[in-house]
Structure 1
Amino acid sequence: MTWLKDIIGTEKAIIAMCHFLPLPGDPYYDKEKGMEYVIEMARKDLLALQEGGVDAVLFSNEFSLPYLTDVKTETVAAMARIIGELMSDIKVPFGVNVLWDAKKSLDLAAATGAKFVREIFSGVYASDFGLWNTNVGETIRHQHRIGAGNVKLIYNIVPEAASYLADRSIESIAKSTVFNNRPDALCVSGLTAGSITDSQILKLVKNTVPDTVVLANTGVRLENLEEQLSITDGAVVGTTFKYEGKFENHVDINRVKAFMDKVKSFRKPLITV
């Protein structure tokens, strides 16, 4: 049994993305509609995801494009307000992700009571956002300084729009990340949000670190969910749940229900054995 059962309530868990619209300070923030509109749309998506039957929700500033690796205070403040306003509506376990800043993600988790955080905690990358360095030792010390020691850490080891500066195999990255950092889970992604994660890469990672939770981070769809969940311990799902399966759209409850019905059917034999 993994921590997913204790924290989220099931194995083969589906963590649904609740994407926030651009926030104050972001280039595409709608100043006319303001924060009230951002909150309204976040609530609409959250309720659709929950009614559709997802196991957990991950709040992120997905539309804060282009992303920062040293996020500004106004972004974290805005996200904390949104989650605070939604608190009475949140009925499932939730996590947070302040893209792409591990410390700020932990700050937000501590402030809101989030159960888990997904981030780029370790490694050095060449990315669309420039040279991307991390300091995992300092980040984990920061986690404990702010009283967030119980927050589960999901390490994205194949970040979107970035690649390791060193020429390393995915097996090497997975093995050393687990040995050195003891992550609660590893996330494996495709190139961008919504891009299918290669099943062969997922198999390599899971076979290399069989005792660590491994999640498919992008591109899990109705037609491939059984294959991906047969390899992994669960998935983070965003674009699939949107109208027409498009990243920029809002959540379509019918797509969520169809997906989760198939997931629950897939899980039944696992539960009864």
Structure 2
Amino acid sequence: MSWFQKLFGHNHGVVIGMLHVPALPGTPCHNMALQAIIKKVCEEARGYMRAGITGLMLENMHDVPYIQPNHVGPEITASMTAVSSAVRQEYPDIPLGVQVLSAANKQALAVALAAGLDFIRAEGFVFSHVGDEGFQNACAGELLRYRKQIGADHIKILTDIKKKHSSHAITSDVSIAETAKAAEFFLSDGVIVTGTSTGIPTSPQDIQEVREAVSLPVVIGSGVTVDNLHESRAMLHANGCIVGSHFKHGGHWQNNVDFERVKCFMDEAKTLQT
């Protein structure tokens, strides 16, 4: 049994719901006390659990505009740890992960270790790209050495390849399949394939090519909706999906979670779970 199936209980049809943490201290849109942020995120987690979600992932998506990882301060790491710890304390058994934007993968590992989380989502694991926050260099060697150094080998690292909101012109001669192979060679625990931006469907061809190229878990990172869940060939080749925008009122990531949408989606997704 793969680590993915052990953690999520299924090897296909896994759905990871996004907990988009309100803007944190020091960021331009910050306007809530940390305790209020914790309360809101925990309320969303409860709604997801009632709707039957498979797993959850916290992300500081409201911290726009994003900055380079070496500028993500200790206040963000501390705040994400506090929020993550509160969710973990309430739900000790739910598969729970974290992503810290932008590409603050070491900070995410530190949060996961301190809060008892199961996985992180990492950007820029292999090859380099240009994101809207600037140039991002590959980090696999440094990140995995850091994971070993802090005793966090049990925390899995799901890695974006050819990630959304980015230009990949500098690696245009490297296919998505070859990128996935490089991630596997560099000891990624699983790969995430996305569309071009948040909420944009992922190419079924990309998913199939990646699935055929590697033996790692493959997760769809954008654009899955209740309407295309069964229609898209992508879900047949992937182990699961991460859903954020579609679960929000009006399908927009900035809005609150619409738990009727979540329940409707999960009712359909459960027919794919194996």
**Is 1:5–2:9 an aligned residue pair?**
no
Deviation at 1:95, TM superposition (A): 0.7
Deviation at 1:161, TM superposition (A): 1.1
Stretches of structure 2 lacking an aligned partner (at least 5 in a row): none
CA distance in 1, matches of 2:237, 2:272: 13
Deviation at 1:88, TM superposition (A): 3.1
Q: Tell me, what secondary structure is at the counterpart of 1:59?
A: strand
Aligned to 2:110: 107
Is the CA contact (8 Å cut-off) linking 1:126 and 1:132 kept in structure 2? yes
Is the CA contact (8 Å cut-off) linking 2:85 and 2:116 kept in structure 1? no
1:223 to 218, 221, 227: 227
Q: Tell me, what secondary structure is at the counterpart of 1:83?
A: helix
Deviation at 1:89, TM superposition (A): 2.1
Deviation at 1:86, TM superposition (A): 2.9
Q: Tell me, what secondary structure is at the counterpart of 1:265?
A: coil
Aligned to 1:93: 95
Stretches of structure 1 lacking an aligned partner (at least 5 in a row): none
**Is 1:176–2:189 an aligned residue pair?**
no
Aligned to 1:75: 76
With over 3 angstroms needed to count, the CA separation of the structure-2 counterparts of 1:174 and 1:252, relative to structure 1, is same
Aligned to 2:135: 131
Question: AA paired with 2:266?
Answer: M
Deviation at 1:140, TM superposition (A): 0.5
Which deviations, in whole Å up to 9, do the C-alpha atoms of 1:26-56 show, x marking residues without a partner? 11000xx322221222122111111111111
Deviation at 1:25, TM superposition (A): 1.0
Question: TM-score, normalization: structure 2?
Answer: 0.92
Question: AA paired with 2:176?
Answer: I
Question: AA paired with 1:23?
Answer: L
Q: Within 5 A, what are the aligned runs for 1:16-27?
A: 16-27=17-28
Question: AA paired with 1:118?
Answer: R
Structure 1 ranges of 4+ moved more than 6 A? none
User: Pairwise CA RMSD of aligned residues?
Assistant: 1.4
Which deviations, in whole Å up to 9, do the C-alpha atoms of 1:163-204 show, x marking residues without a partner? 33222211221122212x121110001122211111111111
Aligned to 1:191: 196
Aligned to 2:245: 239
Aligned to 1:143: 147
Is the CA contact (8 Å cut-off) linking 1:68 and 1:101 kept in structure 2? no
**Is 1:200–2:205 an aligned residue pair?**
yes
Question: AA paired with 1:27?
Answer: P
Deviation at 1:16, TM superposition (A): 1.0
Q: Within 5 A, what are the aligned runs for 1:243-254?
A: 243-254=249-260
CA distance in 2, matches of 1:135, 1:18: 25
CA distance in 1, matches of 2:266, 2:139: 37
Question: TM-score, normalization: structure 1?
Answer: 0.92
CA distance in 2, matches of 1:207, 1:135: 25
CA distance in 2, matches of 1:191, 1:25: 29
Q: Tell me, what secondary structure is at the counterpart of 2:78?
A: helix
CA distance in 2, matches of 1:162, 1:48: 32
Aligned to 2:269: 263
Is the CA contact (8 Å cut-off) linking 2:81 and 2:112 kept in structure 1? no
Deviation at 1:73, TM superposition (A): 0.9
Which deviations, in whole Å up to 9, do the C-alpha atoms of 1:205-247 show, x marking residues without a partner? 11111x1111100111111112332111111111111112111
Deviation at 1:266, TM superposition (A): 2.7
CA distance in 2, matches of 1:134, 1:103: 13
Is the CA contact (8 Å cut-off) linking 1:194 and 1:240 kept in structure 2? yes
Question: AA paired with 1:82?
Answer: V
Question: AA paired with 1:125?
Answer: H
Which deviations, in whole Å up to 9, do the C-alpha atoms of 1:135-176 show, x marking residues without a partner? 321110000111111111101012221133222211221122
Moved more, 252-261 or 164-173: 164-173
Q: Tell me, what secondary structure is at the counterpart of 1:215?
A: strand
**Is 1:38–2:44 an aligned residue pair?**
no
Q: Tell me, what secondary structure is at the counterpart of 1:225?
A: coil
